[in-house]
Structure 1
Amino acid sequence: MKICYIIDFFVPHYQGGGERRLYEIAKRLVKRGYKVDVLCMKIENVPNYENIDGINVYHIGPTIKNPPYRSPLDFLKFIISVFKWLITNKYDIVDAQTFIPLIPASLCYILKIQKNVIGTIHDVSHKKDKSQWLYYGNIAYFIERFLYKLPFKKIITVSNVIKEILNKQYGIPSNKIYVVYNGVDLDLIDSVKCTNIDVNSIIFVGRLVPHKHVDDLIKAVSLIVNDIPDVKLKIIGEGIMMNSLKKLVKELNLENNVKFFGKLKEYKDVIKEIKKSELLVLPSTREGFGMVLVEANACYKPVIAYKSGGVVEVVDNNYNGFLVEERNIQELSEKIKYLLKNKDIAKKMGKYGRKKVEKMFVWDKVVEKIEKVYKK
């Protein structure tokens, strides 16, 4: 079977959750005998063709200097380039990842250029809130609604919550939507050794963008400092909110409590920092799944997250972590403080989380489900 994936960017040049998911799935499909091509945007100083773990990665369309930042013209050029590629190359399966790749893939399906075209949708906005988008917030809400109504033979999404929204808000029949969770590589995670724990340390991993609400987490830490003076917050990631978050840390006199790591080059380095921490917090108001929560549980760490999107299927409240009402900074600080002060309970939650990961969120099981969708 010959499979084509379409995505804006690909690892190792961009390390988002969707990119990590696609890489883990694609390389396992290659090992199972599939021919896998990935179409993505060109990046400055990156060759137009790469072979990554047997995956044929073709960088086409416009050249992007600083992913993920692109202009509307860049999007248009990429759409045209993908469409031209799909006209001249036939595949058994075309799987387009949200957002922009959905347009040329759906067009090829409508025109019967490609027969089996799938749209993979990672998340859906649940309210008209401009902060949910990295940029173009004024029009992104409406563009999203256009994209998700495009025709595909099948839809894959990452949680039952997203499936329900696609069914009820967009009218996509339930029997066309398949839920395939994200996963982790337990062998890789277990290979990362960590001999010491940073006492009273919290970690955030993700893009520093508005809907992640790292500012809420920083404010929560400011409420904890008086009770736990040596509390530490480690922030891994970069994005448009970096300067404003650093300014907030200074305003709250938290320079000794908050450390910005920026973007770590190696995935193993991220896992090591998670292992060195006591818990992971994800105060995001838009999450289709929340892969970092699974990664933390795989490291035997409890998690705390806003009750948003697919997160509710990852976090069993009071078992492998806590779910907090969105934007409730007081409750967020109380839950963090509780786990830092009750380390035995935190360890128990971490062990429960690891068992859940082993049962539900492993890449090999994810690939088996993907194969079943493709063969249908």
Structure 2
Amino acid sequence: MTTHTIGIIMNGVTGRMGTNQHLLRSIKEIIAQGGVKISADEVIMPDPILVGRNEAKLQELCKRSGVQKYTTDLESVLSDPSYQVYFDAQVTGRRAPAIKKAIQAGKHIYCEKPTGTTTEEALELYELCEAAGLKHGVVQDKLWLPGMLKLKRLMENDFFGKILSVRGEFGYWVFEGHSVPAQRPSWNYRKEDDGGIIVDMLCHWRYVLDNLFGNVKAVSCLGATHIEERIDENGKPYKCTADDACYATFELEGDVIAHFNSSWTVRVRRDDLLTLQVDGTKGSAVAGLRECYIQHYGNTPKPVWNPDIEQPINFYEGWSKVPQQEPFDNAFKAQWELFLKHLVQDTPFPWGLKEGAKGVQLAEKGIESWEKKCWVNIDEL
């Protein structure tokens, strides 16, 4: 058996997403399954080292994950040739400077989004990697969620006919901390710390829309800071300076209209924390993170507006649940495996730093639209 060992510098994995999705549910699971099998006698085996600023947290993570190595000295591992890949899941403001150091050290790059605090910064990372001949990837996890994959299968089989519109509902109530502790970090609600739901979520909606429904051509966006004060991790009140809700409409190629409500100040009464409704001439679908429900043209009811009587139609009855036709892996793990194959086999991997820059661009244009109260075109990068 030939084993291709890939040394991975994992920076920022003490945070929630880095710990749960990237370390425990991706890299740890890939190691546990014996690596990524690429042929009958070849596997790719990740060899991670955990990097962070808090040694106690790193030691605890090593115990939980079974990873043997950690360090608080990023410079030392960047100079170590046994590590070919640099992964970054730090807070946004620290990401680009660290990635630049990794590029200078000749490391391939895989990172979380947003990839920078500005489009210019994010695009520079792409250009630096390309100039250095390095491979690169950006986490675009929602593309591998079971609900999104089911939507994609429906589109491939022309279930929708001509797609007319996409409506996304994302979010949940994030407690302010006055009585119930908050379930998100306080930096998310401070603009000076690169927080805000527009910066966070429009990066996601860019790759979802571009990859599934058509490239984004223009955006009209309204942000809001609905909660003015929250309590931080130390029990101290702080002023919220970043947006906690975003109401955005997108014009896509092919005359498709998409609208996404994103909010940390909404209470959920829908199938999941994220739902996408896709309406077409032949049928419609509503997809959550894992499940997908469909209604064909032939199952569409014919309501008549009459507010003076009880509604005679149960609108849920005409929908069918898409069956589980294949196994689905963790979305983050699925993309990690594709990136590892890209490193070893040079298989296609279109979700690189340029795609990450497009996400930052849409967030910037969304903020510009909010400030100007107008539609803003999205230029090609």
TM-score by length of 2: 0.40
* Rg (Cα) greater in structure: 2
More strand by share: 2
TM-score by length of 1: 0.40
Greater RCO (CA < 8 Å, at least 6 residues apart): 2
More helix by share: 1
